[in-house]
Structure 1
Amino acid sequence: MEPLEGSRGVLYVIACAAPAAADLHHLVPLAQTSGWQVHAVVTPTGERFVDIPELERLTGDLVRSTYRMPGEPKGLPPADAVIVAPATFNTINKWANGIADTFAVGLLCEVMGFGVPILAVPLLKDALARHLAFGRSLAALQEMGVSVLFDPEAPPESRMPSWERIMQELHTVVGGRQTQG
């Protein structure tokens, strides 16, 4: 499916296993209203948090969580931007270290290599946010060009920004960049 004329392009929304993923179906219409063609990817554990049939209905596409088998056609068009929200401790650390043991992390590692703008929105417990590996991983991802929307000083119940705020930040990250379409 090619991006529509005048659209912003293809947006991958990648969700991990955190409570905010249950509301991912609220992000898709916001992105579509802003001109994005949305494709959803979830981590294997993240599948338990999202409403896959609803996401597939909203996007008109399969929600992906596993690598395709050899000989199967590629299912995703090239991305123009990526949102990783909620991004968990596990995914942030594996991604920063290139441990592509899930489709979601492998896809993130690959799109970084293409220079696609990526916005990561971590959501994790205070104790995990204080872990040395997490801080190092965030710094590594930022050094590789990933934009991060995370306030470690925010109270845990307020740490996940609204989907509207996430879209606003994505548009700031993407800026005037031309899409592939």
Structure 2
Amino acid sequence: MSRPVLYLFGSAAPPVQQLSDAVRHAQATGFDVCVGLTPTAAGWLGGEVPSLEELTGHPVRSEYKQPTEADVWPDADVIVFAPVTFNSMNSWALGLTNHFVIGVVAEAIGKRIPTVAMPCVNAAYVQHPQFDRSVETLRNAGVLVLYGPGGFEPNQPGERRPEGYPWHLPLGEAARVAGAAP
């Protein structure tokens, strides 16, 4: 029996620098993991991309493939998009698919691929009226957005949380949805 496939996507927020640990956690839960990054996140992790590819056995993607190219990833059983920045949340909710990962998660709504998102935004960004609209739009479309009590709660700009980004939340939800078990 094959392992369920998890697309683990990240955008350029500081927790994306912990992505290799998140991959290992997901693999320990039983997932075959494919990593996708926004272009800025790919730049942040540039030197780490080869080790992520070795760890997952799949190419890390941050750009759309050419229409004539075959897809190099297996089909997803579940998608986790974490961390999701203010920009990525709003682009996704508005259907602005100029980045590969945003295009995939936007299409996942129509394909009914279970998708879990956990933002990483500060308290100043969430004051912008579009952010709450974006969270509501995505939730209404069937995306499990882990934001607020029981999910990611914003901190003040420049303030780091000692407990770190709660990776266990979206990865646990993905395992629950996909029925993955160690």
Return the alpha-carbon distance in structure 1 between the equivalents of residues 154 and 104 of structure 2.
Answer: 29
Determine the structure 2 residue equivalent to 1:36.
31
Matches within 5 A, 1:18-29: 18-29=13-24
> Which secondary structure does the structure 2 equivalent of 1:86 belong to?
strand
1:54-80 residue CA offsets vs partner (Å, 9 max, x unmatched): 211110111000011132111222110
Determine the structure 1 residue equivalent to 2:155.
155
From 142, 165, 171, give the equivalent of 1:167: 171
Give me the CA root mean square deviation.
2.0
User: Which blocks of at least 5 consecutive residues in structure 1 are unaligned?
Assistant: none
User: How far 1:175 sits from its partner (Å)?
Assistant: 6.2
Query: Does the 8 Å contact 2:15/2:165 carry over to 1?
Result: no
Counterpart residue type for residue 13 of structure 2: A
> Which secondary structure does the structure 2 equivalent of 1:26 belong to?
helix
Determine the structure 2 residue equivalent to 1:143.
140
* Structure 1 ranges of 4+ moved more than 4 A: none
CA 167–40 in structure 1, closer or farther in 2 if over 3 Å, else same: same
Determine the structure 2 residue equivalent to 1:85.
82
Query: Does the 8 Å contact 1:18/1:49 carry over to 2?
Result: no
> Normalization by structure 2: what TM-score?
0.86
> Which secondary structure does the structure 2 equivalent of 1:155 belong to?
coil
Q: Percent identity?
A: 36
Return the alpha-carbon distance in structure 1 between the equivalents of residues 86 and 29 of structure 2.
Answer: 29
Return the alpha-carbon distance in structure 2 between the equivalents of residues 62 and 153 of structure 1.
Answer: 32
Return the alpha-carbon distance in structure 2 between the equivalents of residues 140 and 146 of structure 1.
Answer: 9
The count of corresponding residues between Structure 1 and Structure 2 is 171
Query: Does the 8 Å contact 1:80/1:117 carry over to 2?
Result: yes
> Which secondary structure does the structure 2 equivalent of 1:126 belong to?
coil
